[in-house]
Amino acid sequence: MLNQLIQKTELDNGVTVITDYMPEAYSATVGAWIPRGSRHEKESLNGLSHFYEHLVFKGTENRSSLEIVRELEDLGGSLDAYTTRQETGFYAQVSKEDVFTALDVVGDLLMNPLFDESELEKERKVIIEEIKSYDDIAEERVGDLFNELHFNGCGLAMPIAGTLKSVKSITPENLLDYRRQVIEDLPIYVCAAGNVKHQEIVDQCENIFQKKKKGNITFPLSYKANRGLKVISKQELQQSSLYLGTSFLKAELPKEFRFAFSIFNVSMGSGMSSRLFQKIREENGLAYSIFSMADSYKDCYSWGVSLATTPKRLEKATGLIQKEIDLFLKEGFFPGELERTKQNIIGAMKINADSTDKRTLRLAEQQLHLGHYCSMQEIEDGINSVSKEQVIEMTRLVLKNDFWTAAVVQPATAKTPTALNEIRF
Q: What is the pLDDT of residues 86-95, one digit of tens each?
A: 999 999 999 9
In contact, 294 and 261? CB cutoff 8 Å: yes
Query: Percent helix, strand and coil across the chain, each rounded to 5?
Result: 50, 20, 30
Mean pLDDT value across residues 154-183: 97
pLDDT attached to residue 158: 97
Beta strands in 257-345 (DSSP E): 290-296, 300-309
pLDDT attached to residue 394: 93
pLDDT attached to residue 255: 86
Mean pLDDT value across residues 6-33: 96
Q: Is the pLDDT of residue 380 over 80?
A: yes
Question: Phi first, then psi: what are they for 50, rounded to 5°?
Answer: -65, -40
pLDDT attached to residue 382: 96
DSSP 177: H
In contact, 30 and 103? CB cutoff 8 Å: yes
CATH 3.30.830.10 domain span(s) along the chain: 6-208, 228-422
pLDDT attached to residue 402: 84
Q: Work out the percent of the chain whose per-residue pLDDT is above 90.
A: 89
Please, which pLDDT band fits residue 1 given cuts at 50, 70 and 90?
very low
Please give the mean pLDDT across all residues of the chain.
Answer: 94
Please, which pLDDT band fits residue 424 given cuts at 50, 70 and 90?
low
Domain 228-422 annotated CATH 3.30.830.10:
yes
Please, which pLDDT band fits residue 308 given cuts at 50, 70 and 90?
very high
Mean pLDDT value across residues 237-249: 95
Q: Is the pLDDT of residue 252 over 90?
A: no
Question: Phi first, then psi: what are they for 94, rounded to 5°?
Answer: -145, 175
Beta strands in 54-196 (DSSP E): 78-83, 88-95, 188-194
Domain 6-208 annotated CATH 3.30.830.10:
yes
**Separation in Å, CA 408 to CA 156, 197, 235, 272:** 19, 49, 14, 23
Of 168, 211, 205, which Cα lies nearest the Cα of 189? Answer: 205
pLDDT attached to residue 260: 96
pLDDT attached to residue 4: 67
Q: How far apart are CA 324 and CA 260, in angstroms?
A: 18
